[in-house]
Structure 1
Amino acid sequence: MANGLTAESNEARLVEIARAHVRKFGHARTTVVGVAAEAGMTHANVYRYFPSKTALLDEVVASGLRPLEARLREAAEGADPAYDKLERMLIAVHRDYRSKLDDDPELFDLLVDSLIRNRPSARKHRSRVQTDIQRVYEEGVASSAFALADRRRAMSLIFDAAHRFIHPVALRLDKDTSAHAVATRFETVLAITLRALRTGRA
């Protein structure tokens, strides 16, 4: 233990300091030495908890995405019709990413970098989102809410249609477009997508 704290609390503290440094300096200029100094420990001690700067920043990304993942799980487990749940989940992803883009640009850039470099945090997050959405789609097929029963075709439809609105790299291209205008377009795309799933005509 360092500073009389448990390993878990030391890890959490290092992640929060790293998050603050990313906000202040950007992820490229954030250093283990700087994080260690603020934490009151040597950089060698930081490596007891995170083997590299990459691993530390990966946990910054992962911890920032956990609240969204929790909301998606909660929605997927709810009692609402599948089409309502699917709409709510996709909108939640869009709003979370857009909020990060507008309000936390340095952390959003770190998320984009993690996606481009296929870091573990990005891979696991993408897998969790896809799994929850697929679960709701399959529930919709089982309850006859969705007539499009070809899973591969349906999942391609959902993610291809939503790509511009739920992929951070694509969202960054719309940074100068108002959040309201982008959200309105997404609502239109979602309505068309859900209609295709419910009617089976895609």
Structure 2
Amino acid sequence: MPPETLTPDRILEATEDVLRRFGPAKATVVDVARALGVSHGSVYRHFPSKAALREAVTERWLDQSHETLSRLARAERPAPERLRGWLAALFAAKRAKAGDDPELFATYMVLAGENSQVVARHIDTLVRQLAQIIQEGVAKGELGLPADTDPLAAARAAWDATGRFHDPAYAADWGEEGIDPAFEAVCALVLRGLAA
């Protein structure tokens, strides 16, 4: 059987495995190439540097939640339900990433720190999804904001208010007793603040 074609996705999957095994400090492009059974030059044909590879892995990891959250933002439901569901899905996704694979989560924390532009784009995408929900909710009379309030600014405020439930800096709290009622209380507060 001919060897599998080397694609960026295959390289990124192998890089995740290598990072999980060795951590970001010790993982090398040679390790990734070895895992794939190719030369390191083959990896460099797709990613020109170790930094580019690490950035792509970080971006892929962060982008995994975008489609699900985007679908929730566009759903045909009242804006308060969409907003609450979106925040709950974000919290669940972040908690799952931290709890299901703590070694890889720790690795991504390091990589995210190195790739602040990737993280900034990720946050911008998510805040814009929130803004979409808020803007549509205001237009339909389901949410209320003063006429001069920018939906993007309101979305940023909601993002900041719920930070404990999606910012990886708080990952250690996500398994604590009482975190779910705390999440519900913050969601209720945000929704009351945006009520029509």
TM-score bucket (shorter structure)? 0.7 to 0.9
Contact preservation (8 Å) 1:58, 1:120: no
User: What residue ranges of structure 1 are gaps of 5+ in the alignment?
Assistant: none
Spell out the pairing of 1:5-84 with structure 2 (5 A cutoff).
5=5, 9-84=6-81
- What's the counterpart of residue 117 of structure 1? 114
Question: Structure 2: where are the runs of 5+ without partners?
Answer: none
Shift of 1:21: 1.2
In the TM superposition, what is the alpha-carbon distance from 1:99 to its structure 2 partner? 1.0
Percent of pairs with identical residues: 31
Quote the offset at 1:124 in angstroms: 2.3
Query: What residue in structure 1 maps to residue 82 of structure 2?
Result: 85
Task: Return the letter of the residue paired with 1:134.
Answer: A
Aligned to 1:99: 96
Tell me the SS of whatever aligns to 2:25: coil
- In the alignment, structure 1 residue 158 sits paired with structure 2 residue 158: yes
Q: CA deviation at 1:22?
A: 1.4
Structure 1's 10 and 108: CA in aligned 2 closer, same or farther, altered over 3 A?
same
RMSD: 2.1
Q: Secondary structure at the match of 2:85?
A: helix
**Aligned twin of 1:172:** 171
Amino acid of the residue matched to residue 51 of structure 2?
A: T
Would the aligned equivalents of 2:20 and 2:103 in 1 still touch at CA under 8 Å? yes
SS of the residue 1:147 aligns to: coil
Change (3 A) 1:58 1:143: same
Query: Could you say if the C-alpha distance between residues 34 and 153 of structure 1 is closer, same or farther in structure 2, counting changes exceeding 3 Å?
Result: closer
In the TM superposition, residue 4 of structure 1 has moved relative to its aligned partner by 5.9
Tell me, in whole angstroms, the C-alpha distance in 1 between the residues paired with 2:32 and 2:167: 30
8 Å contact kept, 1:114–1:121 = no
| Counterpart residue type for residue 38 of structure 1 | A
Q: Which secondary structure does the structure 1 equivalent of 2:141 belong to? A: coil
Displacement, 1:119?
3.7
Stretch of structure 1 that moved more, 112-121 or 187-196: 112-121
1:37 Cα shift? 1.2
Alpha-carbon distance change, 156 to 70 in structure 1, aligned in 2, over 3 angstroms: closer
Number of aligned residue pairs: give it: 192
Q: Do the aligned residues in 2 keep the contact of 1:162 with 1:189 (CA within 8 Å)?
A: yes
Change (3 A) 1:24 1:163: same
Report the residue type matching 1:130 in the other structure: V
TM-score normalised over the length of structure 2: 0.87
SS in 2 for 1:26: helix
Equivalent residue letter for 2:173: D
Q: Tell me the SS of whatever aligns to 1:41.
A: coil
When residues 60 and 81 of structure 1 are mapped into structure 2, their CA distance, relative to the original with a 3 A threshold, is same
Quick check: 1:128 aligned with 2:125? Answer: yes
- Kindly report structure 1 stretches of 4+ aligned residues shifted beyond 6 Å: none
